[in-house]
């Protein structure tokens, strides 16, 4: 999983590609690099770590009009300069950047005797495979790609050539042209303010891009026509960082995201009667997603069962993918994904679509691969999310799914939701809580129903950015095993926002206290139990509390990570968009 970017024709190609890579850094930041043509020869600059390290190695005013760049999230081979892309062929004629995984690279390596590689990457096999093919450069690229199993989006350059070659399968790639040149890359953000339209490549399409021209081909090398997508109205605006950290900026944006979502779904009527009636015809809903999006799916399923009495199922995409599940035409398959590019989620969407099922996606990135596959699209309006840990995207998914469910159930809660989005404001997290909490080595989040889902999400946040080994669980499950772990070194964070389940939560808290565990209660309700710490939540209608309760827990994770000296925006070993299996 990586980000790629290329420029041809523009005199300031190096600058454009490095700027593009910065926008793609959410796809990985283990290492980065560029390859560019100078005096007809290929030159490489690579660095380990974030793009800023690469920038330090690039001399001022380095000019080239043929440039490719890459930001890496390591899959094959450790994080090192050797394994950083671009990779160059043995004959030094070609350089390549690649996003994806060549699954049969070992086999290809043996078959074509590609030995003595410089790196441990599957990509270096691919670039040498390309060099070994017959014919012109496009034929070589097509020949190699046709032998590859797996996923790839690649940009290839050749010495003494003023062209860039592109190919893709199962990894995103798009290209745009203006009077001054072409750019290509992994997502639309790299085109911001430079291009009016772009072309989104389909699987097994190939491109020759030069300063003045784009030619498209299919996998047989035949020329094809493509229709451009107008991006002049695309919203590239919300990337400015006013806070020191994107994660804090994004947490603070949540009240605005809620207002925007309400406005889009009620004033602009994004979910019209026709779509609602189509959705209403499905007897069953099966949500499929990963990570945080899996949690918002769990919440969506709770809403759907409660208000529409529709049978719901929720699956983790990587599990669904190989489970050979029984599919049904009465069921709508709902894929929730912030990026719309998560490999496991996309693979499942393709799988059910190929079997003739209907697919809906709930996604935050317009024109994403998932949107492309889906029959129905429910956009979320969180705006660009940069921090690796998802915050505003989660809240926007939960709110969007709630709106969908209420509309499907024909429950007119417009006033209630409006009052909420107008009144809900940022939560003031009391940092004094951090020190006592930080004394605990074991942390469990517990809750029931919607609060159980919040517990799962809160625990994921704390794990991924503060590296705390914690766990979210259903309160009622404690006594079935986990209670054995509770002692005076344990903190249990109990989430309680459902009046009818209050007494059950209190019993669970007593069970913890009886074993010496300490308790932090996060609630808007009046509870009849003594606890060690409390976070009081503002009170809104119960159906809105999943949004209200998760935000202080996002802030808890953020502040905890800072206190330990970690960068919450870029947690170790992770990337924003997981475009590999």
- Which residues bind to ligand F6R, rule: CB under 6 A? 290-293, 337-339, 342, 345, 389-390, 460, 464, 577-578
Bridge-based pairing state of the strands 197-200 and 229-230: antiparallel
Burial class (CB in 10 A: 0-12, 13-18, 19+), 230: exposed
CB 395 within 8 A of CB 458: no
Is 576 annotated as catalytic? yes
- Nearer Cβ to ligand F6R (317/509): 317
Q: What's the rounded Cα separation, in Å, for the pair 313 and 315?
A: 7
- Nearer Cβ to ligand F6R (318/508): 318
Containing 467, the helix (H) or strand (E) segment is none
Comparing C-alpha atoms, which of 378, 326, 329, 320 is closest to residue 349? 320
Q: What's the rounded Cα separation, in Å, for the pair 93 and 45?
A: 16
- Nearer Cβ to ligand F6R (8/458): 458
Q: Which two tokens stand for residue 332?
A: 């709508």
- Nearer Cβ to ligand F6R (294/444): 294
Task: Let me know the angle formed at the C-alpha of 235 by 231 and 238, rounded to the nearest 5 degrees.
Answer: 145
Q: Three-state DSSP class for 536? A: strand
What is the sign, positive or negative, of the torsion defined by CA atoms of 264, 266, 267, 268? positive
Tokens 């953020």 appear where? 558
Nearest residue (beta carbon) to ligand F6R: 291
- Nearer Cβ to ligand F6R (25/413): 25
Write down the least CB distance from residue 295 to ligand F6R, Å: 8
Write down the least CB distance from residue 276 to ligand F6R, Å: 24
Tokens 């599957």 appear where? 122
- Nearer Cβ to ligand F6R (88/352): 352
In angstroms, how far is the first alpha carbon of the chain from the final one? 9
Write down the least CB distance from residue 363 to ligand F6R, Å: 8
Q: Three-state DSSP class for 406? A: helix
- Nearer Cβ to ligand F6R (400/523): 400
How far is CA 520 from each of CA 42, 51, 151, 491, rounded to the nearest angstrom? 59, 40, 46, 7
What is the sign, positive or negative, of the torsion defined by CA atoms of 501, 507, 510, 515? negative
Write down the least CB distance from residue 514 to ligand F6R, Å: 34
Write down the least CB distance from residue 36 to ligand F6R, Å: 31
Q: What's the rounded Cα separation, in Å, for the pair 283 and 289?
A: 20
Comparing C-alpha atoms, which of 187, 190, 180, 182 is closest to residue 209? 182
Write down the least CB distance from residue 246 to ligand F6R, Å: 12
Residue of 22, 46, 463, 576 marked active site: 576
Q: What's the rounded Cα separation, in Å, for the pair 256 and 121?
A: 43
Q: What's the rounded Cα separation, in Å, for the pair 354 and 331?
A: 15
Write down the least CB distance from residue 111 to ligand F6R, Å: 34
Task: Let me know the angle formed at the C-alpha of 574 by 571 and 578, rounded to the nearest 5 degrees.
Answer: 145
- Nearer Cβ to ligand F6R (7/338): 338
Write down the least CB distance from residue 55 to ligand F6R, Å: 26
Residue of 2, 312, 331, 470 marked active site: 2
Write down the least CB distance from residue 372 to ligand F6R, Å: 15
- Nearer Cβ to ligand F6R (181/568): 568
How far is CA 259 from each of CA 7, 118, 237, 299, 559, rounded to the nearest angstrom? 38, 53, 17, 20, 26
What pairs with residue 176 in β-bridges? 183
Longest dimension (CA), the chain: 79
Q: What's the rounded Cα separation, in Å, for the pair 383 and 391?
A: 12
Angle (deg, nearest 10), helices 545-563 and 392-408: 170
Annotated active-site positions, please?
A: 2, 576
């Amino acid at each position: 999983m990586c980000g790629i970017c290329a420029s041809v024709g523009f005199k300031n190609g190096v600058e454009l590609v490095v700027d593009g890579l910065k926008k793609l850094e959410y796809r990985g930041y283990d290492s980065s690099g560029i390859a560019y043509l100078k005096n007809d020869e290929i030159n490489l600059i690579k660095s380990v770590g974030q793009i800023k390290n690469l920038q330090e190695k690039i001399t001022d005013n380095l000019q080239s009009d043929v440039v490719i760049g890459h930001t890496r999230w390591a899959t094959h081979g450790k994080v090192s300069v050797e394994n950083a892309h671009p990779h160059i062929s043995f004959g030094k004629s070609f350089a390549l950047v690649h996003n994806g995984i060549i699954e049969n690279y070992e086999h290809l390596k043996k078959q074509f005797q590609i030995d003595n590689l410089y790196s441990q990457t599957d990509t270096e096999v691919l670039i040498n495979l390309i060099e070994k093919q017959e014919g012109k450069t496009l034929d070589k690229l097509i020949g190699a790609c046709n032998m590859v199993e797996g996923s790839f989006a690649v940009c290839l350059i050749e010495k003494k050539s003023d062209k860039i070659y592109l190919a893709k399968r199962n990894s995103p790639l798009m290209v745009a042209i203006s009077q001054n040149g072409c750019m290509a890359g992994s997502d639309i953000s790299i085109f911001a303010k430079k291009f009016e339209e772009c072309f989104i490549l389909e699987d097994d399409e190939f491109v020759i891009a030069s300063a003045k021209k784009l030619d498209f081909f299919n996998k047989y090398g035949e020329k094809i026509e493509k229709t451009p997508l107008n991006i002049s109205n695309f919203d590239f605006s919300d990337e400015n960082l006013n806070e020191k950290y994107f994660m804090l900026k994004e947490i603070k944006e949540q009240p605005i995201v809620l207002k925007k979502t309400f406005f889009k779904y009620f004033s602009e009527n994004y979910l019209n009667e026709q779509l609602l009636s189509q959705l209403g015809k499905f007897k069953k809903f099966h949500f499929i997603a990963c990570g945080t999006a899996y949690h918002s799916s769990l919440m969506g399923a709770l809403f759907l069962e409660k208000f529409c009495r529709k049978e719901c199922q929720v699956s983790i995409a990587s599990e669904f993918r190989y489970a050979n599940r029984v599919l049904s035409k009465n069921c709508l398959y709902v894929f929730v994904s912030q990026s719309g590019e998560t490999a496991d989620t996309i693979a499942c969407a393709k799988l059910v679509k190929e079997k003739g099922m209907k697919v809906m996606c709930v996604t935050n990135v317009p024109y994403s691969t998932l949107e492309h596959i889906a029959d129905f699209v429910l956009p979320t309006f969180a705006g660009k999310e940069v921090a690796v840990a998802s915050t505003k995207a989660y809240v926007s998914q939960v709110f969007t799914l709630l709106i969908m469910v209420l509309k499907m159930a024909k429950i007119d809660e417009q006033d209630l939701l409006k009052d909420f989005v107008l009144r809900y404001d940022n939560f003031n997290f009391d940092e004094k809580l951090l020190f006592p909490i930080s004394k605990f080595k074991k942390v469990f989040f517990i809750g029931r129903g919607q609060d159980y889902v919040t517990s799962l999400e809160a625990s994921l946040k704390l794990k991924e950015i503060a590296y705390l080994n914690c766990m979210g669980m259903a309160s009622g499950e404690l006594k079935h095993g986990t209670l054995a772990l509770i002692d005076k070194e344990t903190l249990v964070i109990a989430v309680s926002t459902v009046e009818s389940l209050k007494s059950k939560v209190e019993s669970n808290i007593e069970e913890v206290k009886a074993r010496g565990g300490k308790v932090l209660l996060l609630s808007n309700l009046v509870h009849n139990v003594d606890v060690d710490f409390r976070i009081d939540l503002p009170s809104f209608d119960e159906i809105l509390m999943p949004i209200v309760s998760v935000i202080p827990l996002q802030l808890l994770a953020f502040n905890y990570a800072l206190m330990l000296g970690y960068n919450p925006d870029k947690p170790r070993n992770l990337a924003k968009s997981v475009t590999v299996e």
